A = this chain, B = another copy of it.
Amino acid sequence: MNAPARVEAGFRLSEVDPGGTPGIDKSDAEREMADSAEAFSDLQERLFAESRAGGTRAVLLVLQGMDTAGKGGILRHVVGLADPQGVRITAFKAPTEEERAHDFLWRIERALPDPGLIGVFDRSHYEDVLIGRVRALASPAEIERRYEAIREFEAGLAAGGTLVRKVMLHLSRDEQKARLQERLDRPDKHWKFNPGDIDERELWDEYQAAYQLALERTSTPEAPWFVVPADKKWFARWGVHRILLDALRELDPQWPPADFDVDEQKARLAAS
């Protein structure tokens, strides 16, 4: 039941098996998620409560992965376990004209979680060094600048009290093919399919190389990356759940003390 490991110096994405389930089997993973539901809920509520008393801490979970890697399932089955009042999900699509007129971090800053919340990015500023690199949407010099800009940006978030955790859902090329096939076979899945998904698939190796670079340039102690094998959906869900739970435990939020005289209010209530 080891938690997923951080990306450290010397990490090689190509050495991670997308079909692996290191450290846990399916029944233990499901039991662990069920058993920790109450602790998770309690920690989330404490974080929220802390913010109501002036606390400024928050969590930001960044989700990245190739198409069909399971981001939607993570949102539904892992983030969905949280109290929705304490969650802010932002899905980033191709930037709008207004967004393109600003620095690539502009739209990211506007989507950051308020104090007390768990913010979740479904895709993120990392697209700007992934598709941005693979499709040459920006110059090589600009892509280089972005790694540094991201490190500084995320260090600033951490310094401001936002715990940043970044997850790459690591899918195999074969499993992606099977999942895209299912989207084409089932009419109730057609809406999830986009012909552009195959265009991106044809650049698989370029994307893996772009991920390798992004991971090594931007995994920092204060904003680490985790590569979670994602061919097995149950494993990916357990992995992300565990990363989120560990993040909340690291924050260790406490119930804020009353900012009123409890006995005085009890007397008022009794008389009301």
A residues at B contact (CB < 8 Å): 49, 52-53, 72, 75-76, 79-80, 82-85, 87, 89, 91, 122, 177, 180-181, 184, 187-188, 190-195, 198, 201-202, 255-258, 260, 262, 265-266, 268-269, 272
Contacts and interface: CB of A to CB of B under 8 A. Distances in A.
A268 B72 contact: no
A255 B75 contact: no
B80 A258 contact: no
A195 B266 CA distance: 10
Majority-rule SS of A interface residues:
helix
Contact of A85 (B91, B202, B272): B91
A53 B82 CA distance: 29
A223 B170 CA distance: 46
B84 A49 contact: no
6 contacts: A80-B80, A80-B83, A184-B266, A191-B258, A194-B260, A201-B272
A193 B268 contact: no
